[in-house]
Amino acid sequence: MGFLYEKLAKPALFLLDPETAHDAAVLAARAGGALKLPAWAARLACAGPQRTVKVAGLDFPNPVGLAAGFDKDCECYPFLGELGFGFLELGTVTLRPQPGNPKPRLFRLPEKAALLNRMGFNNRGAFAAAERLRRLGRGRVPLGINIGKNADCPLDQARENYLEALKVLYPYGDYFAVNISSPNTKQLRELHRPEYLEPLLDALLGFAASQPSKKPVFVKLAPDLEPEEIKDCARLIAGRGAGLIVSNTTVGREGLDRRWEHEPGGLSGAPLMEKARAALGAALDGAAGAVPVIASGGVMTPEEAAWRLEAGAALVQVYTGLVYGGPFFVRNILKHLARKESADA
Ligand SMILES: Cc1cc2nc3c(=O)[nH]c(=O)nc-3n(C[C@H](O)[C@H](O)[C@H](O)COP(=O)(O)O)c2cc1C
């Protein structure tokens, strides 16, 4: 089956421009989710050995999740939940709809097993997402909803912008991810600074605490800060009781052809691995075991997923690995984790 993806589906998808291929995949997943047979077939083909993990009070059937950015509009997650994932992170959703950056804004670097994107939070906004989440219902696995700031919202109004989005989406997520780390929204990464981060977190966590069901909040960090800065940031976030997702894409271009130096955007996949590992280490140091840390960035092999979990991540997320590895990527990771666990026992 993996052979079919490698030899047929992937070459066909890779003939398309990357964003068209992504849109086609979302469309297919929407159709697949609406029909019982494809969903059932996908479940049968893609399920891997399960290993329930409890993180932030939630039960995850396995520790491998889909990172944010694939289902930005919360429209195809029921089918994605059949691909073996232990959880799905939807979004980034912003309060108001916005078109994102001009196209082209997504690029493949197949020789590096990487993607470069400057999508810019293209999405139909929190109210439309909430309506679809209400209609499609809960998926098979825990859902995280990743929220971001509208591009036209100044930094000093970011707190209200995030808070309103959280309020609209709160009934539908099992956890929430606060995205302060996309490189594609001007000044967004300024929100790592304590003078912005503290009031932002106080507002979001205060709202969650005031609700009958207190849901966990995670903050997604950038990998491009100095290790000490990541550590300080993680300490601040953990001190307030929020978890961490480490990390988002990088603005670094180490090891790439010079043509990519002048192409703005965030790099993901294999070239991000070392940076994401280092950022995870610094975040784990800062969090000091007080809150869970989810690993993201450059997880392109089952061995790398195992490495992040052994390093101390509570859960791991993939995106670019799925694009290059195909729908059996998660199952292969889960098989590897199960084999390793029985060998270590
Ligand atoms: C096309 C694309 C769109 C993305 N959009 C988002 C997004 O909307 N919000 C977000 O937090 N991360 C977004 N990401 C970042 C991923 O969630 C992930 O953190 C990053 O790609 C590193 O993981 P990977 O190397 O496994 O892809 C996006 C990544 C890609 C490739």
Digitized pLDDT (tens) for each residue of the chain, 345 residues in all: 678 888 888 999 999 999 999 999 999 999 998 888 889 999 999 999 999 999 999 999 999 999 999 999 999 999 999 999 999 999 999 999 999 999 999 999 999 999 999 999 999 999 999 999 999 999 889 999 999 999 999 999 999 999 999 999 999 999 999 999 999 999 999 999 999 999 999 999 999 999 999 999 999 999 999 999 999 999 999 999 999 999 999 999 999 999 999 999 999 999 999 999 999 999 999 999 999 999 999 999 999 999 999 999 999 999 999 999 999 999 999 999 999 999 988
Q: What is residue 306's predicted lDDT score, i.e. its pLDDT? A: 98
- Spatial separation of the C-alpha atoms in residues 53 and 190, rounded to whole Å: 33
**What is the position in ligand 1's atom list of the atom closest to the CA of 273?**
25
**183 Cβ inside 6 Å of ligand 1:** no
Cα dihedral across residues 129, 130, 133, 135: positive or negative: negative
**250 Cβ inside 6 Å of ligand 1:** no
Q: Whose CA is nearest to atom 11 of ligand 1?
A: 68
Residue 71: which of 145, 18, 11, 140 has the closest Cα? 145
Q: Whose CA is nearest to atom 6 of ligand 1?
A: 69
Cβ atoms < 10 Å from Cβ of 154: 10
Instruction: Classify residue 2 as exposed, middle or buried by CB count within 10 Å of its CB (0-12, 13-18, 19+).
Output: middle
Decide: 295 and 33 in contact? Cβ < 8 Å. Answer: no
Decide: 300 and 330 in contact? Cβ < 8 Å. Answer: no
CA of 69 to the centre of ligand 1 (A): 5
**265 Cβ inside 6 Å of ligand 1:** no
Ligand 1 mutation pick, 249, 294, 318, 330, max ligand atoms within 8 A of CB: 249
Asked if the peptide bond before residue 181 counts as cis, ω within 30 degrees of 0, the response is no
Instruction: Classify residue 146 as exposed, middle or buried by CB count within 10 Å of its CB (0-12, 13-18, 19+).
Output: buried
Structural domains of the chain, with CATH: 2-344 (3.20.20.70)
CA of residue 213 relative to chain centroid, distance: 23
The single-letter DSSP state of residue 250 is: B
pTM for the model stands at: 0.98
Decide: 316 and 309 in contact? Cβ < 8 Å. Answer: yes
Q: Whose CA is nearest to atom 29 of ligand 1?
A: 69
Give phi and psi for 186, each to the nearest 5.
-55, 130
Among 182, 247, 268, 296, the active-site one is: 182
Q: What is residue 1's predicted lDDT score, i.e. its pLDDT? A: 65
**297 Cβ inside 6 Å of ligand 1:** yes
Q: What is residue 18's predicted lDDT score, i.e. its pLDDT? A: 98
- End-to-end Cα, the chain, rounded Å: 30
**299 Cβ inside 6 Å of ligand 1:** yes
**237 Cβ inside 6 Å of ligand 1:** no
**What is the position in ligand 1's atom list of the atom closest to the CA of 119?**
3
Q: Whose CA is nearest to atom 5 of ligand 1?
A: 69
| Token pair in block for residue 98 | 């916005």
**What is the position in ligand 1's atom list of the atom closest to the CA of 177?**
11
**119 Cβ inside 6 Å of ligand 1:** yes
**What is the position in ligand 1's atom list of the atom closest to the CA of 114?**
25
Residue 248: which of 92, 100, 111, 74 has the closest Cα? 92
- Spatial separation of the C-alpha atoms in residues 107 and 118, rounded to whole Å: 9
Decide: 90 and 77 in contact? Cβ < 8 Å. Answer: yes
Q: What is residue 139's predicted lDDT score, i.e. its pLDDT? A: 85
**What is the position in ligand 1's atom list of the atom closest to the CA of 117?**
1
Residue 182 bears catalytic tag: yes
Q: Is 12 helix (H, G, I), strand (E, B) or coil?
A: helix
Ligand 1 mutation pick, 181, 319, 324, max ligand atoms within 8 A of CB: 319
CA of 221 to the centre of ligand 1 (A): 12
**100 Cβ inside 6 Å of ligand 1:** no
